[in-house]
Chain A
Amino acid sequence: MTLGFLARLMLACLLISCAGLAGAQAQKQGGMLRVTHRDNPPSASIHEEATISTDMPFMAVFNNLVVFDPDSPQNRLDRIVPDLATSWKYSDDDRTLTFQLRDGVKWHDGKPFTSADVKCTWDIVTGKVDGKMRKNPRKTWWFNIKEITTNGPLEVAFHLNDPQPSLLVMLAGGFSPVYPCHVPAAQMRIHPIGTGPFKFIEFRQNESIRLERNPDYWKPGRPYLDGIEYSIIANRSTAILALVAGKFDLTLTGEVTPELVKDVKAQVPQMQCLLQPSNTQGNLLVNRERPPFDDARIRRAMGLAIDRKAFSDILSRGVYNVGGAMLAPPEGLWGWTPEFMATVPGYSADVEKSREEGRRIMAELGYGPDKMLPLKVSTRNIADYRDAAVILIDHLKTVYIQAELEPLDSAVWYARLARKDYAVGMNVQGTGIDDPDVMFFENYLCGSERNYTAYCNPELEKLFHQQSMMKDQDARRQLVWEIDRKLQEDGARPVVYQSQGGTCWWPHVKGLKLAVNSIYNHWRFEDVWLDR
């Protein structure tokens, strides 16, 4: 297991540094990058969306305060580099973070960038100011910001309630661009203005997105590309076929399933494909307020029935990771090591033994092969969700639960979740950044919007806050592991698999640097060039 561990990390690093090494060649100016896209972005405003459909195309229009170092395959706290901020400093009590900002940066419409824009952006996303956004998915990320002050046009300070090392991580992610004060949210949704290397040209619903080079970009000589064009092709097979036929240069990230990656490489051996975690996990939403899952024993029996490896085998030919709430190493920073994982109940390798125990529990409650517990497994009516649900139903049979699939239209799904009108739901969820603050506060905090199961454990919440303030990242990791284990033991939201997805591109696309623990953070495209 350790060998595979190391091998994966080395392979990823190799691939990424090769890409970087290739960048050492003389870069060529010019060319349109053509990318396949799959789902219509709900809008062009990154702050209002939580999907890669919006993040990947539109990240190139913006800059952040800080970004993750593109040369580091792992997005991590100690590899953060300047973007619009040239330097930053913590106050002595770690409760104020002050940024010095870059001079001479202009928005795409010519107006100058100042500290006021930073304050505007974060006043709106924290909810202090009503920016007329239609939605604000990451409001919980910024819970710790007390206020933001500016000191002249080139300095801005974030005042926090408590120390929070993860704040920088959140600011470095693809979901944290700086927005202009002078452009209303409604316009940012259909015609975003940023300071980034590419200007927005047009967005045709369900059809295409076009970006053009920003000749006044503040990094001299960048970007190399003339423009980027995304074509929305709903059918995955068709998109891959078109890529192989040479009509496109790059796929949407995570688009290529492990099976298809093999197929693509078989057809075009020189195609570059990187299979990496997609920050998405399959988990179970268990309604603890409604029978049968108000009975902890039945919850436990269900947990024992799950064969996590089977999910991975079926959905991804064994590629998907098994882990807890946090992304597993070597790609993830905060997930359990295999040694630690072995100590967590429900993650034992002996599935048959677990299932026997599950059957014993159910038998005590009066169930058996002739008297199965009927159950409805609800899920969104989308292939990924449905496939996982079908596997779950099959596993539940082994503990005398006769489950039936209830596929729900997306709108209905979320409405039913809100009303707690379900027994168990098969859920697939994404996380913006590989960070415990993000994971815990978004999903497991009492009363948090995304806490669909209303799981509430005040003791554990204290630990959430405790780890958030810790500066020593190694000690913090230990605490995060413990919290993760407790969450799985509680059956808060049993994690079933952590998915991986592939990104493929032709070798003439150079300078592309992907990270192994996030799909959202490196789509600036300012260093990408075409060798043609």
Chain B
Amino acid sequence: MLSYVIRRLLLMIVTLFGVSVAIFLLLRIVPGNIADILFDSAGLIDPAEKQKIVVDLGLDKPLPLQYAQWIAGLFRGDLGYSYVSEKPVIDEILPRIPITARLAGIALLFAVCTGVPLGVISAVRQNTWLDYGLRILSLSGLSMPAFWLGLLILMAFVHFFGTIPIYEREPATYWAWIQMLVIPAAAVGFRSSALIMRLTRSSMLEVLRQDYVRTARAKGLSEGAVTFDHALRNAVLPVITTIGVETAFLMGGLIVTETVFNIPGVARFLVEAIRWRDYPMVQNLVMFIALVVVTVNLLVDLTYMFVDPRIRYGG
């Protein structure tokens, strides 16, 4: 078991290395660099001035050297300077990460707290009108473009309440932050909630049929105990799968929701950094995202092993 974990950690490093090479090369394949973009806003094409910037930033050095410098900096904890704001990358990223983390956290919380109970209800009340209604609701959640949902929410608020739940200035207290993020989090989490609901429902149904549940019933346990103790525990597995597989969609949902609701999180920041060809910013942000993704994958796989002993990974 421990050896498996250690092996996975080592493999994680391999993946991260692969990501770093991939993002480094991909960025440089794309035409246009920061010098081009900077001059874009001034509408100029002065080769001499552009070249000065290119040299200043070390963009004319051979690629392997640039890569080595970046990685060496990473190990030292020096993430470099943003090409656009000329401030340290760390200073730009660090304050924004908690914002997106809060948004994602509240969204997942919303998804689990609504998805699981509704999934259970839907399974227990299978094939009733309630079940059909919930299934259609969950399917709608999976069918709507995330930003359309966000826009509809905005339009609804403006129309019915005369207010607009977007971010305009930094909330003063932690509680004010939560209040501000609740609505965008619901927009982001709606899709995940729908998925979790469906998966909870189907795995609950499968489990409810199984022998050992019948046995538990036969032993005389109450319906409620049967449901929540045995069935639910085994329904947890697909929820965990969702979290793993959905990370990509969640990221996309975060990006568009942060854009629609104007939240200054790290997802929206990544979009801007790419537009500006701010290499240090994009590279380090992508590495961070990769770290999150591989960690989530590892945790998902580990939980799999704990929960479903039938799956072995050959030590």
Q: Would A and B touch once assembled, by the CB under 8 A criterion?
A: yes
Contacts of B82 in A (CB 8 A): 205
Evaluate contact between A238 and B154: CB separation under 8 angstroms.
yes
- Give per-residue flags for B27-39: 1 if the beta carbon is below 8 A from chain A beta carbons, else 0: 0000111001111
Q: Does A409 reach chain B (CB closer than 8 Å)? A: yes
- CB-based nearest B residue for A245: B164
Are B44 and A245 in touch, CB under 8 angstroms? no
State whether the Cβ of A207 lies closer than 8 Å to any Cβ in chain B: yes
Residues of A within 8 A of B53 (CB): 134-135
Contact residue among A50, A241, A410 (Cβ-Cβ distance under 8 Å from B164): A241
CB A172 to nearest CB in B, in angstroms, measures 21
Instruction: Check if A238 sits within 8 Å of B164, measured CB to CB.
Output: yes
Contacting residues, chain B, for A245 (C-beta < 8 A): 158, 162-164
Of residues 244 through 277 on chain A, the ones whose CB sits less than 8 Å from some CB of chain B are 245, 247-248
Tell me if A235 and B40 are in contact (CB < 8 A). Answer: no
Say whether B87 faces chain A, with CB atoms less than 8 Å apart. yes
Least CB distance, A191 to chain B, in whole angstroms: 10
Flag the segment in B185-193, B227-235, B261-269, B305-313 that touches A: B261-269
- From 213 to 241 in chain A, residues with beta carbon under 8 angstroms from any chain B beta carbon are 229, 231, 233-235, 238, 241
Q: A205-B85, A235-B262, A241-B164 are in contact. Are A137 and B36 (CB under 8 A)?
A: no
Q: Are A450 and B43 in contact (CB under 8 A)?
A: yes
Query: Do B40 and A410 touch (CB < 8 A)?
Result: yes
The residues of B that contact A207 with a CB separation of less than 8 Å are 264
Contacts of B164 in A (CB 8 A): 238, 241-242, 245, 247
Within 8 Å of chain A (Cβ to Cβ): is B247?
A: no
In contact, B36 and A414 (Cβ under 8 angstroms): yes
In the complex, which residues of chain B have a beta carbon less than 8 angstroms from the beta carbon of A135? Answer: 38-39, 42, 44, 46, 49, 53
Contact B269 A206 (CB under 8 A): yes
Q: Would you call A412 and B32 a contact (CB within 8 A)?
A: yes
For B262, the chain A residues whose CB sits under 8 A away are 231, 233-235, 238
Interface residues of B in 45-64 (CB under 8 A from A): 45-47, 49, 53
Bound Cα distance from A403 to B277, whole angstroms: 30
- A429–B44 Cα gap in the complex (Å)? 11
Contact of A42 among B36, B41, B92, B166 (CB under 8 A): B41
- Complex interface: chain B residues within 8 A of A189 (CB): 86
A411-B154 contact, Cβ under 8 Å, with A186-B86, A235-B262: no
**8 Å CB contacts to A: which residues of B155-181?**
158, 162-164, 166, 168-169
Q: Give a binary string over A407-427; 1 marks a CB under 8 Å from any B CB, 0 the rest.
A: 001111111011000000000
Q: Given A241-B154, A450-B44 in contact, is the A231-B168 Cβ separation under 8 Å?
A: yes
CB neighbours (8 Å) of A417 from chain B are: 45
B27 to chain A minimum Cβ distance, whole angstroms, is 12
How many Å lie between the Cα of A245 and that of B41 in the bound state? 32
Contact B86 A205 (CB under 8 A): no
Best-surrounded residue of B47, B84, B87 (most CB of chain A within 10 A):
B84
Q: Is residue A449 contacting chain B, with contact meaning CB distance below 8 A?
A: yes
Q: Compute the total of residue contacts between A and B using a CB distance below 8 Å.
A: 115
B297 CB–A CB distance under 8 Å = no
Indicate if B118 sits at the interface (CB-CB under 8 A). Answer: no
Interface centre among B38, B85, B259 (most CB of A within 10 A): B85
Say whether B168 contacts A242, CB under 8 Å.
yes
Whether a CB of chain A sits under 8 angstroms from the CB of B272 is: yes
**How many residues of chain B get a CB closer than 8 Å to chain A's CBs?**
40
B47's nearest neighbour on chain A, judged by CB, is: A418
Question: Does B239 reach chain A (CB closer than 8 Å)?
Answer: no
Contact A409 to B32, CB < 8 A, known contacts A205-B85, A245-B162: yes
Q: Within the assembled complex, what's the spacing in Å between the Cα atoms of A256 and B313?
A: 60
User: A454–B49 Cα gap in the complex (Å)?
Assistant: 19
Q: Is the CB of B168 within 8 A of A411?
A: no
Cβ-defined partner of A206 (8 Å) among B32, B36, B272:
B272
Residues on the B chain within 8 Å of A134, using CB: 38, 49, 53
Please tell me if the beta carbons of B44 and A205 are within 8 angstroms of each other in the complex: no
In whole angstroms, what is the CA distance A40 to B40 when docked?
14
Any B CB within 8 A of the CB of A208 = yes
Shortest CB distance A271–B (Å): 15
Closest residue of chain A to B162 (Cβ to Cβ) is: A245
**CB nearest to A429 among chain B residues:** B43
Contacts of B259 in A (CB 8 A): 234-235
- Contact residues, B249-268 vs A (CB, 8 A): 259-260, 262, 264, 268
Contact partner, A411, options B84, B85, B269, B277, Cβ 8 Å: B277
A49 within 8 A of B: yes
A247 near B168 (CB under 8 angstroms)?
A: yes
Contact between A49 and B41 (Cβ–Cβ < 8 Å)?
yes
> Which residues from chain B contact A204 at a C-beta distance below 8 Å?
264
B37 touches A411 (CB 8 A): yes
Give the distance in Å from the alpha carbon of A223 to the alpha carbon of B269 in the complex: 34
Interfacial chain B residues near A411, Cβ < 8 Å: 31-33, 36-37, 40, 277
In the complex, the answer to whether B277 meets A449 with C-beta atoms within 8 Å is no
Q: How far apart sit A43 and B40, CA to CA, in the bound complex (Å)?
A: 13
Within 8 Å CB of B45, what residues of A? 414, 417-418, 449, 452
The 0/1 profile, CB within 8 Å of A marked 1, for residues 77-89 of chain B is: 0000010111100
| In the assembled complex, A190 has its CB within 8 A of some CB on chain B | yes
Is A150 in the interface zone, CB < 8 Å from B? Answer: no
The distance from the CB of A238 to the nearest CB of chain B, in whole angstroms, is: 6
In the assembled complex, A51 has its CB within 8 A of some CB on chain B: yes
Shortest Cβ gap from B221 to chain A (Å): 54
Q: In A61-95, which residues have CB < 8 Å from any B CB?
A: none
Question: How far apart sit A242 and B154, CA to CA, in the bound complex (Å)?
Answer: 10
- Indicate if A136 sits at the interface (CB-CB under 8 A): yes
How far is B168's CA from A229's CA once the two chains are assembled, in angstroms? 10
Interface residues of A in 375-422 (CB under 8 A from B): 409-415, 417-418
Residues in chain B near residue A410, CB distance under 8 A: 32, 36-37, 40, 275
Asked whether B40 lies within 8 Å of A50 as measured between CB atoms, the reply is no
A414: contacting residue among B40, B85, B163, B264, CB under 8 A: B40
Chain A proximity of B158: nearest CB distance (Å)? 5
In the complex, how many angstroms separate the beta carbon of A280 from the nearest chain B beta carbon?
11
Whether the pair A49, B42 counts as a contact (CB closer than 8 A) is yes
Bound-state Cα–Cα, A34 to B168, Å = 10
Given A134-B53, A410-B32, A411-B277, do A208 and B39 touch, yes or no (CB 8 Å)? no
CB interface residues, A 198-216, toward B, < 8 Å: 204-208
Chain A residue at smallest Cβ distance from B46 = A449
| A40→B158 contact, CB < 8 A | no
* New A-B contacts (8) at CB < 8 Å, excluding given A186-B86, A190-B85, A452-B45: A34-B168, A205-B92, A206-B269, A208-B169, A238-B154, A409-B32, A411-B37, A418-B45
Chain B residues at the A interface, C-beta cutoff of 8 Å: 31-33, 36-47, 49, 53, 82, 84-87, 92, 154, 158, 162-164, 166, 168-169, 259-260, 262, 264, 268-269, 272, 275, 277
Could you write out 7 A-B pairs with CB less than 8 Å apart?
Answer: A134-B53, A190-B85, A206-B269, A238-B166, A245-B163, A411-B40, A415-B36
- 4 closest A-B pairs by beta carbon, nearest first, are A411-B32, A137-B42, A411-B36, A418-B45
